[in-house]
Structure 1
Amino acid sequence: MKAPLRASLPDSSAPNLVLERFAPEETFKTKVYAALKNAIINMDIYGSREPTWIDERQLSERLGVSRTPVREAVAMLEQEGFVKSLPRRGIVVLKKTKNEVVEMIQAWAALESMAARLVVVRASDAEIGKLRTLFKNFNEAHKPAEHVSEYSSANIVFHQTLIGLSGSQLLIDMTNNLLLHVRGIRQMTIGRDDRASRSIVDHLKIIEALERRDIELAERLSRDHTLGLAAYVDEHADIFD
């Protein structure tokens, strides 16, 4: 006679998986956080000496949510160093000191040089070709130095696209947290001392190295290009006056 079948007992050595349901308020908080962070990253906070303020009530109305998820999202952004809540005054987007910005640009240089290495390994020829199209409208008749605002936008897109082509979500996330400050400083400095003319030369050399699948050269050119910005910021404290 066969023994009766018994339900197998769970292995006591296996870790218990504890899951909690998502609360609606947490879902709103996450969405508000993502929307607000993206908006802050795209601000030009270094374009003016005046502080940049965020109004909690206006955010709630524009996003169509209660003020609770807005407060929670702001708290998360405050922990990340993007904003600061000041009693009876509001929420201000934080600017960094010169030394802090220099360190951020140096960190960006390290991350982007790794991104360049990964682009060589992972990206297709067509994807790398997209980088070159960003500068197709610039030539002797349409010089970057004479169209600084237009070139500044292409410059930022170039660096974001290069990071994206790495295929590394972690690199993308890490540079997003630096982008607010690095982007603003790039925009401020690109029109000074003919930096736009030199910048496009650097970019085209980086693209050429990527197209040739020269890992070491692409990595070095990308790193040195961004470290050049760090050195320039370090030498020109008046940017922050």
Structure 2
Amino acid sequence: MEVVIQPGSAQIASLVADAVERLLTETPDAVLGLATGSSPLAVYDELVRRHEAGRISFARARAFLLDEYVGLPADHPERYRNVIEKAFTGRVDLPSEHVQGPDGSAQDVPAACAAYEEAIAAAGGVDLQLLGIGSDGHIAFNEPGSSLASRTRIKTLTRQTRQDNARFFGGDVDAVPHHCLTQGLATIMSARHLVLLATGSAKAEAVHQLVEGPVSAMWPATVMQHHPHATVLLDGAAASRLQLADYYREVFESKPGWQGL
């Protein structure tokens, strides 16, 4: 696992955009895994800027979303398909039919989850997966206690996650759905490159567990320690609990420029 500590979100976004630009230059039909939430917004803005400057095209790319709320109507502004379109996919040349997410309105939930797994596999798997991390260590909506071998399925959201996400629902925790469909931890681990972003002191303990703690279902993101190509990008506040923070900084500063993330 590579840990990269940067001054702030702008520097993090630039590094991640470099990785995406490099991937799409080498493989124009690459498959991207897109995350919602606040963590990747600066990355999406930077990718849009580079697209508008003619540096990067998404015309041949494919994209899969990590998760989706269950029961929100198709036009709800917090439905993740709508969120990602507003934040990113609707601002670049990524065809809408090339963007897929779990079907949160499906009548047959197990069949919809199986179909989503099949769609990812049929696309050749995800090349680069963007991730955030919850204050309780969840990635996607894999809450504490999730199986490390889990695949796309329905999950009940914890009170903590619903409180964390209430800001997107006008601060009303009761408006946040109780259930979601989410890629499982094994699904996420199947991506070829995992890129996790975290900023702010509220994420410091989760980041500490992710990077330096034992692998445990109680901190689902720790499964990333077993991934052969995982990158964790942090600001100073998110890195504040890391015992080896100075070492991680030294390693990145000494890294050959041609390696990228």
Tell me, yes or no, whether TM beats 0.5.
no
Normalising by structure 1, what TM-score? 0.23
More helix as a share of residues: 1
